[in-house]
Amino acid sequence: MRYDNRTRYNNIAKEMKKLGELSLLGEKGWIVNMNEKEQAVREMLKKHGQEQLLACYTKMDKNKQEKLLDEILTIDFPQIEKLYGKSIQKEVISSASIEPISYIEKDKIEQEEKQKLLETGEKLIKEGKYAVVTMAGGQGTRLGHNGPKGTYDLGLESHKSIFEILCDTLKEAQRQYGVYVPWYIMTSRQNHTETVDFFEKHSYFGYPKQDVFFFMQGELPVVNEKGKILLNTEGLVNQAADGHGGIFVSMRKNGVIYDMKARGIQWAFIGGVDNVLAKMVDPILVGLCMEKKVLAGGKSVVKACPEERVGVFCRRNGRPSVVEYTEISKEMSEEREENGELKYGESHILCNIFHIDAIEEISKDKLPYHSAHKKIEYMDSQGNIVKPTEPNAYKYEAFLFDAFESLEDMAIMRVKREEEFAPVKNATGVDSPETARKLYKAFHGME
């Protein structure tokens, strides 16, 4: 079937007409030409008070004009209006519904039990039923590296990039279990090509190319403090990746779930790109989830101090969840158990595994979006590029851990920070390349 741009607009237009959005359809039932399309877009922008999106339109060449109109046609304005409305109200979270969650400490599992878990997990991995998904669609603004975060050279003597360091763990798994674990990498529109090119340039670090898959995550428009959608520096719609929680929908839309099922994958690790000690293939966690008969498992490390800026595992309204450092009250963050440990002390490190059935179920609905107040470059209505020095706009992101609340239970396994958590977040100081490099070298006995 030919599915050209005109068919696409007309489908969108029909949908919008059904929703009572506007009369996008021309007399013959479809949009006939650019003028008609422009007219329809202007009408829609007027209705939603977003006319600024066409402020630079007349200065653009035809191709760009068409691209802009196309982008505008795909915006879900009512959704953006709702999100903006929420972003200007402060979220108030009642502490009454939050309680601690139980966990198992990896190091304290009895030897016999550990062996049993190991065997269960190893069997599944050896049978080729395990996959790894790396979320590498983030912008990495705090690190400030010019390129996808995974391409960052950690500063080891080998000059390995973060992607290569992660790939090493998969190569190690291959040596141990005799299978190449399929590796799915989520990128974003901004970094997709650069990411794929990097893998090509480095011959996939010696991993079989047919076992590495890239897919792009979704995006949402960015709005200023008055709720107006911004233009990007090219004069097109300013869109930003929709957060790591967009992973499930993206996996469905890009056929990843389908591909996993076709390969017989039952469990998948889903983690961030920026932990250079991530143990992405851990049979004990797999065994633990299988034994507990839960559909997801997550690793935690002990929260360093009440003020540490990390989310912690908890139960919210009885369901597994994560309470963010921005949500937790000072009192709750300081509460201690009798043994002196923090009551809410199991930091979520974005190292989780999910059963394929859970991934499929979660992917059917979008997770809620949270707003983030950020410094976002944009083109103003005179066509000037503005580089803000203070946060000027809201972007909307879904968080992966919001998916936990759809599960009745999950297995939380506490692991040692120095063995499994070396994040690369900031350019300097805490969680920077310097601290991650130190932890990496210490773990691998390089010092």
- Residues lying near ligand UTP in the complex (CB under 6 A): 135-142, 149, 186, 217, 241, 243-244, 272-274, 350, 397, 425
Query: Could you give phi then psi for residue 257, rounded to 5 degrees?
Result: -65, -40
Closest by CA position to 141, among listed 388, 320, 330: 388
Q: Which residue is nearest to ligand UTP (CB)?
A: 138
Contact by Cβ (8 Å): 161, 153 = yes
| Nearer CB in complex with ligand UTP: 9/399 | 399
Q: What is the 3-state secondary structure (H, E, C) of 194-245?
A: HHHHHHHHCHHHHCCHHHEEEEECCEEECEECCCCECECCCCCECEEECCHH
CB of 220 to ligand UTP, least distance (A): 10
| Nearer CB in complex with ligand UTP: 44/359 | 359
| Nearer CB in complex with ligand UTP: 125/241 | 241
* CA distances (Å), origin 100, targets 83, 191, 337, 411: 30, 38, 10, 13
Contact by Cβ (8 Å): 317, 159 = no
Provide the 3-class DSSP secondary structure of residue 75: coil
| Nearer CB in complex with ligand UTP: 154/350 | 350
CB of 68 to ligand UTP, least distance (A): 23
Provide the 3-class DSSP secondary structure of residue 184: strand
| Nearer CB in complex with ligand UTP: 45/328 | 328
CB of 104 to ligand UTP, least distance (A): 25
CB of 242 to ligand UTP, least distance (A): 6
| Nearer CB in complex with ligand UTP: 50/134 | 134
Q: What is the rounded distance in angstroms from the CA atom of residue 175 to the CA atom of residue 342?
A: 39
Matching residue, tokens 């709720």 = 227
CB of 17 to ligand UTP, least distance (A): 32
| Nearer CB in complex with ligand UTP: 244/303 | 244
CB of 22 to ligand UTP, least distance (A): 31
| Nearer CB in complex with ligand UTP: 39/432 | 432
CB of 191 to ligand UTP, least distance (A): 9
| Nearer CB in complex with ligand UTP: 141/158 | 141
Q: What is the rounded distance in angstroms from the CA atom of residue 132 to the CA atom of residue 85?
A: 37
CB of 159 to ligand UTP, least distance (A): 21
CB of 59 to ligand UTP, least distance (A): 31
The tokens describing 376, both together, are 């976002």
CB of 289 to ligand UTP, least distance (A): 22
The tokens describing 1, both together, are 């079937």
Helix extents (H) in 49-160: 62-73, 77-87, 111-126
DSSP assignment of 324-374 equals -TTTS-HHHHH-B-TTS-BTT-EEEEEEEEEEHHHHHHHTTSPPPEEEEEE
| Nearer CB in complex with ligand UTP: 245/283 | 245
- CB neighbourhood size of 438 (10 A): 14
Strands 385-386 and 239-241: unpaired
User: Which residues are within 8 A (CB) of 103 and not within 5 positions of it... i.e. 6 or more apart?
Assistant: 300, 313, 346, 412, 413, 414
Contact by Cβ (8 Å): 150, 205 = no
